[in-house]
Structure 1
Amino acid sequence: MSNAYLDLLAYFGIGGAHPGGFNLTQSILEDVNIQPIHSVLDIGCGTGQTAAFLANRFNCKVTAIDNHPVMLKKAQERSKNSEASFQVFERDVQNLNFMDNSFDFIISESVIIFTQISKTLNELSRVLNSNGCLIIIEMTAEQNLSEELQRKVCSLYGIHEILSEEEWILRLREVGFSQIEIINTPAELPQSEINDINQSININKDFYDLWEEHNHFIHHYRHLIGYRAFKCQLNEK
């Protein structure tokens, strides 16, 4: 099913559109001790900004996946032009075509919330090594939201639900993540940075309107809708 907000990001080719932006991504990844021997999966890779950084900075094996054809094309272009290339595949994160225990690190930047959350987390748990690390950055509810606001969030972003910090932790524990660290970040959703763009031609005017609606929403509800970054490790399998 098409998602207008994800289409917007794809056609504008915006890198680092997730909460905290690319600066947060770099800060987190510099702290997790990624080595050249490690295999890293970047889910919902978008235009490949994070995948390229991982490959160039750490010289590790990077696999980037997305299921949006426009995003995939732009990620493949970035890989070809990158000093250290990375693999790009079309995959559904809810049904990953990878063997169990395939990756040492998995990176997810505002991706899981656009899926069936528990199903996706279960797949990520399956393909992560026993001693591996999952890093996720996701939108959260800062307090109990009214039904009207929940409907507004879900309609704007094409999502099924929005979880609190406690609910994210519960879902992670349900699929086997026993060590869950909340990475220290500002709680409020920032205005989206636009400093990495690979824009398509002939963009529908509706996408410009949707981008304005998104930024207005963040400004108006930033005390109610925030985000968290989690660093997670599994129980021994």
Structure 2
Amino acid sequence: MSNAYLDLLAYFGIGGAHPGGFNLTQSILEDESIQSNESVLEIGCGTGQTAAFLAEQFNCQVTAIDKHPIMIEKARERFKNNEIPVKVMEGDAQSLDFADDSFDFIIAESVIVFTDISKTLHELSRVLKSDGSMIIIEMTAEKSLPEELQKKACSLYGIKKIINEEEWIVHLQQAGFTRIELLNTPSELIQSEINDINQSENINENLYVLWDEHNYFIHRNYHYIGFRAFRCHLA
């Protein structure tokens, strides 16, 4: 099923569109000790900004997947132009085409909320090695959302529900993650600076309207909706 907000990100080719932006990604990954012989998976890789950083920073084996064909095209363009050895492929986070225990490290930045959360987390648990780790950054309800606001968010972003921190932790536990660390990050879902864009030609005017709606929604409802970053382990 098509998602207009994800189409927006794809056609505008926005890197670091997730909460906190690429600066947050870099600050979080600075604390990771990924080895060059380790395998890394990024789901919902978008245009490949984080995957490229992982490959360059740690010289590790990076696999990047996304469900949107335009995102895949732009990620491949990035990796080719910069000669970065990232394996990029189209794939569904809810049904990963990888064997059990395939990856040492997994990262997902504002991806899981756009899927069936339980299905995706169980898949990530399945393909993560028992001694591996996973980092997720996800939109989170700061307090109980009025029904109309929840409906508006679901309509705007094409999601089922914005859940709170405790609900994220329950979902993670149910998927098999036993050690869940809440990373110390700003929680506000503010518009981060965008300086990585690979814009398509002939963008539908409706996507410009949607971008304005998104910015207005975030600005108006920042006290209801934020984000959390978790580091998760299976054992």
Q: Smaller-chain TM-score range?
A: over 0.9
Contact 1:79 1:87 in 2 (8 A): no
Give the secondary-structure state (helix, strand or coil) at the position aligned to 2:228. strand
Report the counterpart of residue 157 of structure 2 in structure 1: 157
Report the counterpart of residue 84 of structure 2 in structure 1: 84
| Distance in 1 separating the partners of 2:172 and 2:188 | 22
Deviation at 1:32, TM superposition (A): 1.3
Report the counterpart of residue 62 of structure 1 in structure 2: 62
Deviation at 1:82, TM superposition (A): 2.2
| Distance in 2 separating the partners of 1:230 and 1:73 | 29
Contact 1:150 1:162 in 2 (8 A): yes
Report the counterpart of residue 50 of structure 1 in structure 2: 50
Give the secondary-structure state (helix, strand or coil) at the position aligned to 2:178. strand
**What is the count of residue pairs matched by the alignment?**
235
Give the secondary-structure state (helix, strand or coil) at the position aligned to 1:8. helix
Report the counterpart of residue 177 of structure 2 in structure 1: 177
Report the counterpart of residue 72 of structure 2 in structure 1: 72
| Distance in 1 separating the partners of 2:91 and 2:84 | 22
| Distance in 2 separating the partners of 1:142 and 1:26 | 24
Give the secondary-structure state (helix, strand or coil) at the position aligned to 2:227. strand
| Distance in 2 separating the partners of 1:147 and 1:221 | 13
Deviation at 1:83, TM superposition (A): 4.0
Contact 1:19 1:227 in 2 (8 A): yes
Aligned partner letter, 1:124: L
Give the TM-score of the pair, scaled to structure 2.
0.99
- Residues 170-190 of structure 1: CA deviation (Å, up to 9, x unaligned): 000001101100111111101
Which aligned segments of 4 or more residues in structure 1 are displaced greater than 4 angstroms? Answer: none
Deviation at 1:62, TM superposition (A): 0.2
Report the counterpart of residue 195 of structure 1 in structure 2: 195
**RMSD, aligned α-carbons:** 0.7
Give the secondary-structure state (helix, strand or coil) at the position aligned to 2:101. coil
Report the counterpart of residue 138 of structure 2 in structure 1: 138
Gaps of 5+ in 1: none
| Distance in 2 separating the partners of 1:142 and 1:64 | 30
Aligned partner letter, 1:20: G
The range that moved more, 131-140 or 26-35, is: 26-35
Q: Matched residues, percent identical?
A: 70
| Distance in 1 separating the partners of 2:161 and 2:60 | 34
Give the TM-score of the pair, scaled to structure 1.
0.98
Report the counterpart of residue 98 of structure 1 in structure 2: 98
